[in-house]
Structure 1
Amino acid sequence: MIERKTPTLGIALIPIFAMITFLFTGIFMFEADPHIPLLLSAGVATVVAIYLGYSWVELEKGIVKSVSLALQALIILIIIGTIIATWLAAGIVPTMIYYGLDLLSPTYFLPAAAVICSVIAVASGNAWTAAGTIGIAIMGVGVGLGINPAAVAGAVISGCYFGDKISPLSETTNMSPGITGVELFTHIRHMLYTTIPALILSVILFFFLGLTYKGKGAGAEEVAQLQQSLGEIFIISPWLLLVPAVVIALIAMKTPAIPGLVIGSVLGAIVAVTVQGVAVGDILANMVYGFTMETGNEVLDNLLNNGGTEAMMYTVSLVMIAMSFGGILEASGIMAAIVNSLLKLAKSTGSLITTTVATCITMNIVACDQYLSILLPGRMYLTAYRKRGLHPKNLSRTLEDAGTMSSPLVPWNTCGAFMTATLGVSTFQYAPYAFLCIISPFVAIVYAYTGFTIARLPEDEENTIEIEEFEQNEPALQQSI
């Protein structure tokens, strides 16, 4: 039996530097997609892991385990592709755009978009559901008003992730306190100290950004022409909005995301056939290949030609490759070596929380999944927080401030890939406008060094580590993920 070596930091960083080099060279020099650079990075990680004494069978198991974590996300992504297609064919998204053009002006559109998406995400408990339903319509309205699509996507994502972060229905909102042993609503209340200020700052920034569109967006004549074109192509009726209302209500009533979204897709197909007169064969084709229509109006064509499971395969393949890379790093102990090295830098409360933020962001980049960016630091830093006399709710909050929030900013992360596929804007384009996702980690760091809202353990628990209970619950936590 080959003796396994514990990776040093230098060894552990080899596949990381390889990934950075391959991605930078591929994306910025050759304008390539990230798939092959990530695949090459996985190859380097495999060579390093074999050098450390791991067999291919062990690495393959790590890959399968890692990819399995993303399976639910991939299924949701495929279903969202069918929802986009059926809701377009059914006139549901066009109806949202039609009325949205009446209600929203370019000046106030961006802050309003962020607030609307946050409300929907709180109700649904899922950023992806909010982006895949109301987010698509908001993108259409924004384009119709002549607003930069990247800025619109940033507002949608900011609102969606605010709701996802504080909703008691959200998976990450339940996962973070579950890993750290904090009661759910204690965790949510503690998060409000960082999340509310971050949202307020984001809305203010969107307001000032919106002022730059005053007098520059689409004029009343252009908006009226767009509405007229939509009215000529589709039957527009507020009754069509019952379909997204049903989906949001189902998920708010704790219906699991997958069946809830499937119901939304089926309802969209039924409406397309019965209301818009689409042939059954055509709607089935739309669900696979996307809704297509040539109107001669470039703006309208960009709004309407979207969706389908085929359009999501680019993202599905990217996520699978990225998760394979992360699986190799975790199975070979490379990821743990990086996290443990970062932990050595934590000499104070401020540096410990800052290190947690850095680790969560690193895990989103390297492990390519927001669940791993919460799970791994949560498991590895719990003892350190307790030894320093810090209440675990500080850790659970930081996991969300950095892990949940930074995930849509990474193009090959499951969240970044999903948002790009759903909203039709690349991660690099919308990232500078995703204000909430950028601000939240900095708010966590400022609080860490000022001590503001940093809770300490009660005196009777000071310097005690309840790690045994955590280890007993770990298998159940892993299974729940």
Structure 2
Amino acid sequence: MLETSVLLVFVAGLLFCLIAGLPILLAILFGYFVFFAYGLSRGKRAFRLLAVSLTGIRSVKNILITFMLIGMLTAVWRACGAIATIICASTRVMRPDLMVVICFWLCCLISLLTGTSFGSAATMGVICMSISNVMGIPPVYAGGAILSGTFFGDRCSPMSTSAQLICTITDTDIYRNIRRMLQTCVVPFLLTSGLYLVLGLLSGAREAPADVIEIFERNYRLGWIPLIPALITVLFSLLRLNVKVTMLASILAGGAICLWVQGIAPLELFWICLRGFRAADPELAAFSNGGGVLSMLNVGAIVCISSTYSELFEETGLLNNTHALIGRLAVRINPFGAVMVVSILTSAICCNQSLSTVVVKQLCDHVMPDRYELALTLEDTVILLAALIPWSIAGSVPLAASGAPLSSILFACYLYLLPLCSYLSYSRGRGWPASPDAPVRAEGS
């Protein structure tokens, strides 16, 4: 009963912050104190709880480094003229009423190449958002398409860290998992594309005004050279190089172009990387301002605090009594539905995708003993549903990196449709594509 009360208090704190319009960071900080107090009530020493909290923070240092690179990358691409060049070229050939679905397709492609929702949003997401703004497309439409597309590859790319994580914790082969994931994503992908096509037709999009292109041409030296950072990103992704290496190479190339092509002073470039690009021309600022390391501070703080949750849960045993409840839920609906419900609740508490995935696996492996079935279910639930929680970094970071509003989550159609289609398929008895373990069990039965 105490464990349930603690979780309800935390959820109440989250809801209060959302309703009152307070920063989500305050809710996450409130949650830390709630779980810390629970640990003290269980007889844990404060020093020990602080120690495990620091362990959790140290575990996300690589994510924090990635956030810094994303902030610098989005600022440098704006400053070097890469985004301006792509916008000028794209607006001459793209139909505005097709731009929403094109945003989805392009982000699907880049996320499939890079395997990261964060990196895809920081590159192609920024470009798509900038073009959409110029064409007058509602930001929530474009943001929803970007978020959907970035998670297409985050779910099923061989380079995806989430796909690798699930293979590790379920002891499955990644390429077998990917083949089965591609089978289950066809219908949701087509439905999502159709919905974005309709949204684009109803969006009131227009051709980019000639004066917008003139603004870019007046403030940048355009041409093929500013495209080098973007080309590096695509090339390095095709070569399957490390995402951090790819972003760093693109930042260095963009920085060199800022210095020697756009005439930006070294000190000014430093401040651009730190604070983001701030155009002197007010007309240009409306389209190009943004990025920088400081723009990622809020989500970085959320990551640091929420990373302590898993260690506190393990130390205090807060979630130990939930297995029986989940088993009863699986009997009442079905195992997939139970995992889906647990994924939503866990993502709301853990606030990030990786931690949620590990916790859901620990809580639900007894309702899905087939390891390949569990792997596919995790990919179709927690990996996507984590991005629909407004205070989770899974969705908030890609939206912040691309410059889209948080309300874009409402239009991230793919993230709703794939779990829904999978649930309907499972409920109707069709199950998943044949598991590699199935023949082994049949022979031994």
Shared fold per TM-score greater than 0.5: yes
Matched, 1:324 2:308: yes
Is the CA contact 1:125–1:252 (under 8 Å) kept in the aligned structure 2?
A: no
In the TM superposition, residue 463 of structure 1 has moved relative to its aligned partner by: 11
Question: In 2 relative to 1, CA 151–406 (structure 1 residues): closer, same or farther, beyond 3 Å?
Answer: same
Question: In 2 relative to 1, CA 261–337 (structure 1 residues): closer, same or farther, beyond 3 Å?
Answer: farther
Q: Which amino acid aligns with 1:257?
A: V
Is the CA contact 1:408–1:419 (under 8 Å) kept in the aligned structure 2?
A: no
Find the partner of 2:253 among 249, 267, 270. 267
Find the partner of 1:430 among 397, 405, 408. 408
In the TM superposition, residue 44 of structure 1 has moved relative to its aligned partner by: 1.6
Matches within 5 A, 1:25-424: 25-29=16-20, 31-213=21-203, 216-218=204-206, 220=207, 223-297=209-283, 300-338=284-322, 340-347=324-331, 351-386=334-369, 391-424=370-403
Question: In 2 relative to 1, CA 379–308 (structure 1 residues): closer, same or farther, beyond 3 Å?
Answer: same
Is the CA contact 2:76–2:254 (under 8 Å) kept in the aligned structure 1?
A: yes
Is the CA contact 1:353–1:448 (under 8 Å) kept in the aligned structure 2?
A: yes
Residue-by-residue CA offset, 1:240-271 (whole Å, 9 max, x unaligned): 22221212322332322222211111111001
How many pairs were matched up? 443
Question: In 2 relative to 1, CA 460–81 (structure 1 residues): closer, same or farther, beyond 3 Å?
Answer: closer
Residue-by-residue CA offset, 1:149-206 (whole Å, 9 max, x unaligned): 1110111111111122111111111221232222211111111232221111111110
RMSD over aligned Cα atoms: 2.2
Is the CA contact 2:326–2:364 (under 8 Å) kept in the aligned structure 1?
A: no
Q: Which amino acid aligns with 1:355?
A: A
Q: Which amino acid aligns with 2:419?
A: P
**Cα separation, 1, equivalents of 2:255 and 2:49:** 42
**Cα separation, 2, equivalents of 1:106 and 1:290:** 28
Q: Please, which moves more after superposition, 452-461 or 33-42? A: 452-461
**Cα separation, 1, equivalents of 2:359 and 2:175:** 22
**Cα separation, 2, equivalents of 1:62 and 1:444:** 37
Q: TM-score, normalised by structure 1?
A: 0.87
Is the CA contact 1:122–1:167 (under 8 Å) kept in the aligned structure 2?
A: yes
Is the CA contact 1:190–1:393 (under 8 Å) kept in the aligned structure 2?
A: no
Q: Structure 2, unaligned stretches of length 5 or more?
A: none
Q: Corresponding residue for 1:24?
A: 15
Q: Corresponding residue for 1:478?
A: none
Q: Which amino acid aligns with 1:343?
A: G
Q: Secondary structure at the match of 2:7?
A: helix
Question: In 2 relative to 1, CA 141–407 (structure 1 residues): closer, same or farther, beyond 3 Å?
Answer: same
Matched, 1:450 2:434: no
Is the CA contact 2:390–2:409 (under 8 Å) kept in the aligned structure 1?
A: no
Is the CA contact 2:75–2:273 (under 8 Å) kept in the aligned structure 1?
A: yes
Q: Which amino acid aligns with 1:253?
A: L
**Cα separation, 2, equivalents of 1:378 and 1:289:** 39
Is the CA contact 1:12–1:338 (under 8 Å) kept in the aligned structure 2?
A: no
Residue-by-residue CA offset, 1:210-234 (whole Å, 9 max, x unaligned): 1102xx323x4x5211011101101
Question: In 2 relative to 1, CA 272–445 (structure 1 residues): closer, same or farther, beyond 3 Å?
Answer: same
Q: Corresponding residue for 1:469?
A: none
Q: TM-score, normalised by structure 2?
A: 0.93
Q: What stretches of structure 1 move > 4 A for 4+ residues in a row?
A: 462-465
Question: In 2 relative to 1, CA 432–102 (structure 1 residues): closer, same or farther, beyond 3 Å?
Answer: same
Residue-by-residue CA offset, 1:325-355 (whole Å, 9 max, x unaligned): 444234312134345532332127x611111
Is the CA contact 1:327–1:367 (under 8 Å) kept in the aligned structure 2?
A: no
Q: Which amino acid aligns with 2:8?
A: F
Residue-by-residue CA offset, 1:373-392 (whole Å, 9 max, x unaligned): 22222244334322xxxx42
**Cα separation, 1, equivalents of 2:201 and 2:175:** 37
Question: In 2 relative to 1, CA 286–171 (structure 1 residues): closer, same or farther, beyond 3 Å?
Answer: same
Q: Which amino acid aligns with 1:443?
A: C
Question: In 2 relative to 1, CA 37–166 (structure 1 residues): closer, same or farther, beyond 3 Å?
Answer: closer
In the TM superposition, residue 444 of structure 1 has moved relative to its aligned partner by: 2.0
Is the CA contact 1:319–1:412 (under 8 Å) kept in the aligned structure 2?
A: no
Q: Secondary structure at the match of 1:346?
A: helix
